[in-house]
Homo-oligomer: A and B are copies of this chain.
Amino acid sequence: MQQENQVNIADLRERFSHYLKKQRYRNTQERFLVLDSVVNIDKHFSADELYIYVRGFGAKISRATIYSTLDLLTKCNILVKHRFQGDSAHYELADKMPNHDHLICTECGRIIEFQAIEKLGEIQNEVCQSLGFKPLKHSFNIFAVCNDPGHCEYNRA
């Protein structure tokens, strides 16, 4: 399922590089290290999870740089930033599955992706039209619990 939209890392690097150039920001090692890690981590992550991940294979990078780079990657639409419940923001690659929303298990916090974009897009457009707004994007989150909580390996109890 995740493979449907294989991420092209060379393409992402190019897009990032292009964005940086256009904004007169510099192409630093740290920024591309973050981009690579973001691709490798291959799931939703918080800034701190990414920090730990990057440190995990010995790379030296500060939280400040993590945050700043995540911000850049979000601004150039390589990442999408979410605020689910909980304290910290979560990020994911915008390209990986271009159109999906999230189901959050209220028992274990697991996040599952699904697609229902056409219908949601219709609703979004209807609502905006009737209220006099230009739609930009939406977020649709379903909160639910597993039918089989025993299967829920992530369970925090």
Binding site for B on A (CB under 8 A): 83-85, 103, 105-106, 112, 114, 116, 119-120, 123-124, 126-128, 130-148
Q: How far is the CB of A137 from chain B (nearest CB, A)?
A: 5
- Decide: A145 and B134 in contact? CB cutoff 8 A: yes
**Assuming A139-B141, A140-B138, A140-B139, is B131 touching A123 (CB within 8 A)?**
no
A133 touching B103 by the CB < 8 A rule?
A: yes
Task: From B124, B133, B144, give the contact of A147 (CB < 8 A).
Answer: B133
Chain B residues with CB below 8 A from A120, complex form: 123, 140
CA distance A119 to B106 in the complex (A): 23
By a CB distance below 8 angstroms, the chain B residues around A142 are: 124, 127-128, 133, 135, 137-138
Question: Which residue of chain B is the closest to A86 with respect to CB atoms?
Answer: B83
Residue from B128, B137, B144 in contact with A128 in the complex, judged by beta carbons closer than 8 Å: B144
What is the total number of copies of this protein in its complex? 2
Asked whether A133 lies within 8 Å of B144 as measured between CB atoms, the reply is yes
- Judge whether B140 and A144 touch: CB under 8 Å: no
**Identity of the chain B residue whose Cβ is nearest the Cβ of A124 in the assembled complex:** B142
Contact of A144 among B83, B112, B135, B145 (CB under 8 A): B135
Contact among B83, B105, B106, B136 for A145, CB-based, below 8 A: B136
Q: What would 11 more interface pairs be, CB under 8 Å, given A133-B145, A134-B147, A139-B141?
A: A116-B126, A123-B140, A128-B142, A132-B147, A133-B144, A134-B144, A136-B144, A137-B143, A138-B141, A138-B142, A138-B143
- Are the C-beta atoms of A116 and B112 separated by less than 8 Å? no
